[in-house]
Amino acid sequence: MTNIILCGGSGTRLWPVSRTLMPKQFVKFFNDLSLFQLTCRRNGKICDEQLIISSAELYFLALDQLDGLNTSINGTHNSKFLLETIARNTAPAIALACMALDEDEVVLVTPSDHLIKDERNYFEAVNRATELAQEGYLVTFGITPTYPETGFGYIEAHGEDVNAFYEKPSFEIAQQYISAGNYFWNSGMFCFKTKHFLNELKYYSPEIFKACKQAYACAVKDALTIRIKYDDMAKIPEDSVDYAVMEKSDKIKVIECDFGWSDVGSFDALYEEFPKDINGNTLCQKHVNINSNNNLIMASTRKISTIDIDDLIIVDTPDALLISKKGSSQKVKNVVAELKKRNTDIHNIHLTVHRPWGTYTVLEDTAGYKIKRIVVAPGKKLSLQKHLHRSEHWVVVSGVATVTVGTETLMVKPNESTYIKRGELHRLANDGDIPIILIEAQVGEYTGEDDIIRIEDEYDRS
């Protein structure tokens, strides 16, 4: 069985912790593990291989987090990647993944950002779903609801038969669903043979099937990745797997599940999963509490003191602070929408940004200059590049940097520096065994991240 992991989504409801280039599935919320890592580890116990569907921008972040897990066979990852140049929703993503596998392969399709706490019941549900998939059914997993949630879709069932799918209901309708006893949260997880899914997609959504088939045929494939070309991806109609197939097919079964599931889709949901002190506040070493109760407190660097406050969400990051009433955290997506209107990057990136070669952290950013702390992993190198609007000063703090400037290559040691003029070709590489840490001072009329002209790049970035 192959686990198809859907790794898209920007997690806007968990801003400012989750951002476009560090979405919630990669944030290490649980014992220094991310939801993505927990998904890979959990499903790696029951699946022979994992096919991860990701954007090209997040590929190296996913690969780096895989390196932190014991998910390898004979020293090599049993994971492959299908890289989408633009998102077209879940139906095309699953279709492209199925086209990459044998037609008789049973697949378990799971989001990468869900929490499952009861693995024993989970594995039992997957085993039953596998049996039904072998019989030719497309199987979905319905979560036994514990309260009238308005943020999920519902599945009406009669045993393992699906009566109907329903969109996110009003609170009153959700209460009726709970009272009826045969309505379940739609988890967005599926199990089927690839040929059965593709046959149903071809019948009910032929435009999507045809465009996906063409895109997959033209994809760039190697041992680890399948890269879908932008122009081909753009021609695929956008649709969810529910609309394209599941709500139309007569070959659907549902497994009723109760395995401690959460989509961790809001800070209210996250509050329920975090350990708490005797006052009901989430545990946080940065928190100083004076008569405050039942608060979600998340802090990265600064101390947070609370006095006589209850039922709040307080999330502090180096460049953004969120304060909300509990019960209102679904509205965080409205904050992100407002930030997009203001033409800022704060919804896209953190001050610390992950790159294929390591990380950089913005220490200061103001008119005329920017200062960064750059960390380059052993054996990695930046692209050969130049800038049109800025010059750069590099000061090495630790490690030994191999620096190419123009036609000259030099070794820069700790407490030594080098200077790159505007428009000059340059590259930074780490040929050593320890990370390089350096301070970069950019000076110029424009210091945006898009002022990079790449001449050569090991990571196929343009």
Looking at the structure, tell me whether residues 257 and 296 fall in a common domain. no
* Residue whose token pair is 């686990």: 3
Looking at the structure, tell me whether residues 325 and 357 fall in a common domain. no
Question: Is 462 part of any domain?
Answer: no
Tokens of 457: 């790049």
Looking at the structure, tell me whether residues 403 and 364 fall in a common domain. yes
Judge contact between 427 and 398, C-beta under 8 A: no
**Per-residue pLDDT of the chain in tens (462 residues, 90 and over written 9):** 999 999 977 778 899 999 988 999 999 999 989 999 999 999 999 999 999 999 988 888 898 899 877 644 333 458 999 999 899 999 999 999 999 999 999 999 999 999 999 999 999 999 999 999 999 999 999 999 999 988 899 999 999 999 999 999 999 999 999 999 999 999 999 999 999 999 999 999 999 999 999 999 999 999 889 999 999 999 999 999 999 999 999 999 999 999 999 999 899 999 999 999 999 999 999 999 999 999 999 998 899 999 999 999 999 999 999 999 999 998 999 999 999 998 888 888 888 888 889 999 999 988 899 999 999 999 999 999 999 999 999 999 999 999 999 999 999 999 999 999 999 999 999 999 999 999 999 999 999 888 999 999 888 777
CATH of the domain at 50: 3.90.550.10
Exposure of 190 in the CB half-sphere (CA atoms within 13 A): 25
Nearby residues of 350 by Cβ (< 8 Å), 6 or more positions away: 19, 21, 22, 317, 318, 319
Domain-ending residue, one of 262, 281, 312: 262
Looking at the structure, tell me whether residues 35 and 154 fall in a common domain. yes
Q: What is the pLDDT of residue 70?
A: 62
The span from the CA of 271 to the CA of 264, in Å, is 9
Q: What is the pLDDT of residue 72?
A: 43
Domain-ending residue, one of 301, 331, 361: 331
Q: What is the domain extent for residue 287? A: 269-331
Question: Is 237 part of any domain?
Answer: yes
**Counting runs of H as helices and runs of E as strands, what totals does the chain give?**
11, 31
Looking at the structure, tell me whether residues 286 and 150 fall in a common domain. no
Burial class (CB in 10 A: 0-12, 13-18, 19+), 172: exposed
Looking at the structure, tell me whether residues 223 and 275 fall in a common domain. no
Looking at the structure, tell me whether residues 128 and 255 fall in a common domain. yes
**How far is residue 150 CA from its own chain's centroid?**
23
User: What Cα–Cα distance (Å) separates residue 270 from each residue in 99, 143, 298, 330, 406?
Assistant: 35, 18, 11, 12, 50
| Total domains in the fold of the chain | 3
| H helix or E strand, kind and range, residue 77 | strand 76-77
Buried-state track 10-19, b at ≥16 Cβ within 10 A, e below 16? bbbbbbbbbb
| DSSP code per residue over 107-118 | EEEEESS-EE--
Q: What is the pLDDT of residue 71?
A: 47
Judge contact between 17 and 298, C-beta under 8 A: yes
Judge contact between 334 and 13, C-beta under 8 A: no
Looking at the structure, tell me whether residues 185 and 281 fall in a common domain. no
